[in-house]
Amino acid sequence: MLPNTGRLAGCTVFITGASHGMGKAIALKAARDRANIVIAAKTTHVNPKLPGTIFTAAQEVEAAGGKALPCAVDVRDEQQISNAVEKAVERFGGIDILVNNASAVSLTNTLETPTKRVDLMMNVNTRGTFLTSKTCIPYLKKNRAPGKIAHILNLSPPLNLNPLWFKQHCAYTIAKYGMSMCVLGMAEEFKGEIAVNALWPKTAIHTAAMEMLGGSGIESQCRKVDIIADAACSIFKKPKSFTGNFIIDENILREEGIKNFDIYEIKPGQPLLPDFFLDEHPDTITKKMESHDAVPELKEEKSQPPPKPRSGAVAETFRIVKDSLSDDVVKATQAIYQFELSGEVGGTWFLDLKSKGENVGHGEPSDQADVVMTMSTDDFIKMFSGKLKPTMAFTSGKLKIKGNMTLAIRLEKLMNQMNAKL
C-alpha cells in the first residue's frame, strides 16, 4: 500500500457520502496526512445494516491524525450543500479538494425501475455531483498559488458507450455516466484552475453496502476499500494540468510502483468480480460477449474439465445442488428462485431456499418466487459450474433477472460452493 507523504497536511477535503465505505476510506487516508476532512453525508443515526454515521467517521478521522467537520448533507438538497460548504470555509478557511462519492444504484431494467428510483439515481448521482461541484468551485478557484491543490474527483466510470452496459440497467448507467460527463465538461471549463478527474475500481470493492447487496461471503471476490483510498491520494498529488482523466485504480497504482495487488484483496488468490463499465478488450468485447465460451476474466482460472453432455445435465446440476443444501444455507439465503431455461432439457425449474424438504425440482415452486432468472440451458450449467460469472452473464444480456436483485446476487455464493462439484 502507498505510504502517507504529508502532501495533504493542512488541506481541506470535502467528501460526500463519507460516513462509510469508499468515501470514509479516502477520508481516513487523507487524515493520516493530517488533512482537514469535511464529512458530508446523510447518516446521522446508527443503522444496524449499514454501520457508520458522520459522527463516528469524524471520530475515526480525528484518531487518524486529521481534523474533522461532520455535516448532515443530502446531496439532493442544494441548501444543505451550501450550508456544509459555508461551515467548511468558516472552520478551515477554504476548500482544496472535492470528492463526489455519494451515489445511488438500482440494477433494474427499464420496465422494472420505478419512477421514484429513477429520480433518486438522477438526483443523487448526476444532479448531486453537479450541485456540489458548482458550490465548491468558487473556493477551489481561489487556490492559485504554485503547487496549491485544487481538485475535483468523481467516483464514476469511464464513458463506455458499449450497449451491453445500458441494456440491463439503463437508468443507473445514465445517472452514473452523468457524473462522468461532469468530469468531461468541467475539466475543460476550468482547465488551468482546477483539476477534474474520475476514479473507478477495476474490481468489486468490499463495503457494508456490498455486503447488504451480495450477502455474506461476497467479500472473498472483492478488494478492500484501501485500493480506492490509495488511488485517490495518488491523484491528489498530481498537478492541476493532470485533468480530464478517467482513471482505473489498479492502473494508477501500477504507475506508482505497486506490483503486488494481493495486499488489497480480502482473500488473496480468489477470483475477483470485475466491476461494471469496463471492457477487457474494447475493440472485440461485443464479439466476445456473443461467444458462450469467452467471458472477460480478471484472473486466469484453472482449466475446466470437458463439458458434460447436455442431456440430463440440468437435472444433474439440481441434484448436486439439493445434496449440498443445509439448514444453514437455507437460513442464510431465505429466498425462492425460479429458472426459465431455453434450449435442450430446458423449461421451468426452481430452487426453494426458504423451507426444508423438497427444495429443488422441475416446474414452478409452490410459493411465489422472489427471483426469476431467464437464460439458456448451456449458460445455466456454465454459471453453476463456475465457467460463466453471473455478473458478466447479467451485464452481457445472457441472464435476465426479475424480482429482488439483492437476493439474486446472494445466490452467487451458493454457485461458488457448487463449482468444485459440478
Catalytic residues: 172
Sign of CA dihedral 272, 245, 8, 45: negative
E-assigned strand segments in 322-388: 335-342, 347-353, 360-362, 371-376
Q: How far lies 232's CA from each of 53, 100, 129, 284, 326, in Å? A: 22, 12, 17, 30, 43
For helices 78-92 and 128-140, the axis angle rounded to 10 degrees is 30
CB 382 within 8 A of CB 292: yes
For 236, the 3-state DSSP assignment is helix
For 197, the 3-state DSSP assignment is strand
Burial of 229 (0-12, 13-18, 19+ CB in 10 A): buried
Pairwise CA distance, residues 31 & 236, whole Å: 13
The DSSP letter of residue 253 is H
CB 43 within 8 A of CB 66: no
Instruction: Supply φ then ψ for residue 247, to 5 degrees.
Output: -105, 135
For 306, the 3-state DSSP assignment is coil
Burial of 101 (0-12, 13-18, 19+ CB in 10 A): buried
Scanning 190-326, the segments in alpha helix (DSSP H) are 208-214, 226-236, 249-255, 285-290, 313-324
CB 198 within 8 A of CB 158: yes
Q: Which residues contact 211 (CB under 8 A, 6 or more apart)?
A: 218, 219
Burial 236-256 (b: 16+ CB within 10 A, else e): bebebeebebbbbbbebbeee
